[in-house]
Amino acid sequence: MEFHMSKETAFWFVGIDLHKDTMTVCLYCPTSGEVRYRKLACKCREQVAEFFRGLPRPHVVAIEAVGMYRWLWELLEPIVQGLLLADATAARALAGRRLKTDREDAFNIADLLAHGRLPVAYAPPGEVQELRDWTRRRNRLSRDHARTLHWIKSLMNLNNRPGPARLDGEGLVRYLKGQGDKLPTRHRTVLWDCVDQLTLIERQIQAAERELIELLKRPRFQATAEILTTFPGVGLVTLATVLAEVGDFHRFTHRKAIARYAGLNPTVHASGGKNCTGHIAKAGPPDLRWILQQAAWTAIRVEPHLKRMWLKISRSAGKKAAAVAVARKMLTWMWYAVREGKPYRSHVQAA
């Protein structure tokens, strides 16, 4: 987002240092050199909205990127003239000051914004954020489901019982009705509790997936979804998670940039002319890494090209590290495919 100032225009730059309970707002006009401060309580939403409606114009507002910034973003987006998300860590590094107060942090954001030096973070649009909320909800439920299944298997192994072939809520009910008398009473009680947990989680997963299906029908996602579904191992949940966590593929100018964003790039330690490659960086969205690795294992089983790649890498790096490499390759291929508007097969032939 670009903002053009003239010498005759008193353009105001607004920096917000956001905390859980309060926010400090700095209004800075480089034309006149005027600086104003205001401290607001986060719980007084109407007061916050009224203050920003009354900002002098023209103006642009930058919010410090913290974990709970989203509520303020959605409140201000329809009110202010321009809204940006500041990369908090990079902005502090550019401050060059040892003094750290709320006012200093707010002024630093406004000052960097005024001089075109503010490092800007990505703030997903409303539809992408809604999809992100639902995918994270669904993926968290899936992990809760897996933990419950793991506990059930551990309990079965403790009794040297194989358990049901289909380990879900319904399968466990059938097993307990038919074979439950062979287990100690205390373990039967625990397993019936697990039935309740599995049944609830499975119902919630189904509800979340229905929401994902409806969200993916929106025009914003349709063109990209048509391309990504041509990739092996990409189903509903993988598709929705990638779209939600990546957002706009075109904001990445290079394939390495999207790999770094996902945290799938290997760390490199260079010293004394020696380079050592370590584990992946694990920066960025953990849900994106998790779902891509799940998709990679599926793709390895069904796609001969990826299986050959996995076998080649696994000889020197091991099976798990090779699967991570496949996940990274799949993400970079997705980036290429979306930017070029080509399906998976076209890219593999071109590569």
Question: Tell me, what DSSP letter sits at residue 118?
Answer: P
Q: How far apart are CA 123 and CA 250, in angstroms?
A: 14
pLDDT value at residue 12: 96
pLDDT value at residue 127: 96
Asked if pLDDT for residue 344 goes beyond 50, the answer is yes
pLDDT, tens only, 134-152: 999 999 999 999 999 999 9
Q: How far apart are CA 101 and CA 243, in angstroms?
A: 38
- Comparing 207-211, 212-216, 340-344, 345-349, which segment has the lowest mean pLDDT? 345-349
Average pLDDT over residues 95-112: 86
pLDDT value at residue 5: 46
Q: How far apart are CA 180 and CA 212, in angstroms?
A: 37
Average pLDDT over residues 92-116: 87
Sign of the CA dihedral with 210 first, then 215, 216, and 219 last = positive
pLDDT, tens only, 39-76: 999 999 999 999 999 999 999 999 999 989 999 999 99
% of the chain surpassing 70 pLDDT: 93
pTM: 0.89
Asked if pLDDT for residue 281 goes beyond 50, the answer is yes
CA atoms within 13 A on the CB side of 52: 29
Average pLDDT over residues 165-183: 90
Under 8 Å CB-to-CB from 6, ≥6 apart: which residues? none
